[in-house]
Amino acid sequence: MVQGPRRGGRHLPAEAGDYVRLDHFAAVLSLELVTALKTRHSSFSDFLRSCMAEPDAPSCIAGDPAERLTFDNAKRAMSTRLGRLATEVAEWEFVEFLVRHCGPEDTDECRALRTRLAGFWLASQRYPPPGYRGPINLPDGAPRPYTDADEAPSDKIRVIMLRDQLSQERVNRRRADDCEGPRTQPGVLRAAEPRSAQRPQAPQGVRTSADKDHRDAGHERRR
């Protein structure tokens, strides 16, 4: 079997079967992330030294790499998510962070990778990646996703699903409000102008020749 690069005397996973404690879809997801990481960095430690101090770093690895305890905790977090003996599926914010910093530079290729990773994440967890609104390529053999939060296997997952649902509903309401345009105050009715008096509205602060003609006509009537 081909072995991956060494990390602190141990080998990085080289195939999905190396992940003995994860389900198949989580294993493929983790391997894809390790593959992306290896295109830019030689090891988990190298990745952390380069990226863990970034402002958008996920909480599981965020911190100053010069602080020994912080760095050791970040390495442990990497191992529990991507190492050969990983026991946790990477949080979606972690997936997004790694893709931004290690994914393909080509926009279409990077979008395809994110779509594929979202599919493996959904297949493993059975609910959509929190906060992700892009397309999802669900792999063959994936189990049926949960239809609602009531099917969640734990309170933790139920809360995550409900929060994401509420977030999406807020986004939908904002989009609906943007489509409807500005609203008048409750109880205030605006009389419709006769069709002949209606004219296109210029952007605020910009005057048109029609405005000038309208003012001149007003002056003549007052005389």
Residues 25, 135, single domain; the answer is yes
CA dihedral 110, 116, 119, 121 (to 10 degrees): -70
Domain that holds residue 78: 6-140
Residue 128 lies in a domain: yes
CB atoms near residue 187 (< 10 Å): 5
Residues 127, 169, single domain; the answer is no
Last residue of a domain, one of 140, 167, 197: 140
Residues 101, 171, single domain; the answer is no
Identity of residue 9 = G
Q: Are strands 10-11 and 6-7 parallel, antiparallel or unpaired?
A: antiparallel
Residue 35 lies in a domain: yes
Residue 172 lies in a domain: yes
- The per-residue pLDDT for 181 is 64
Residues 31, 62, single domain; the answer is yes
Residue 189 lies in a domain: no
Residue 132 lies in a domain: yes
Residues 89, 73, single domain; the answer is yes
Residue 219 lies in a domain: no
Residue 69 lies in a domain: yes
User: CA-based angle 138:122:102, to the nearest 5?
Assistant: 90
Residues 66, 155, single domain; the answer is no
Q: Are 33 and 97 in contact (CB under 8 A)?
A: no
pLDDT, tens digit only, all 223 positions of the chain: 334 444 444 578 999 999 999 999 999 999 999 999 999 999 999 999 999 999 999 999 999 999 999 999 999 999 999 999 999 999 999 999 999 999 988 889 999 999 999 999 999 999 999 999 999 999 999 999 998 899 999 999 999 999 998 988 888 888 788 887 655 444 444 444 444 444 434 333 333 334 445 445 554 555 5
In 3D space, the residue among 159, 129, 172, 125 whose CA is nearest the CA of residue 145 turns out to be: 125
Residues 117, 174, single domain; the answer is no
Residues 133, 159, single domain; the answer is no
- The per-residue pLDDT for 92 is 96
Residue 191 lies in a domain: no
User: CA-based angle 59:97:175, to the nearest 5?
Assistant: 100
Give the chain's domain count. 2
Please give the Cα distance from 68 to 76 (Å, whole number): 12
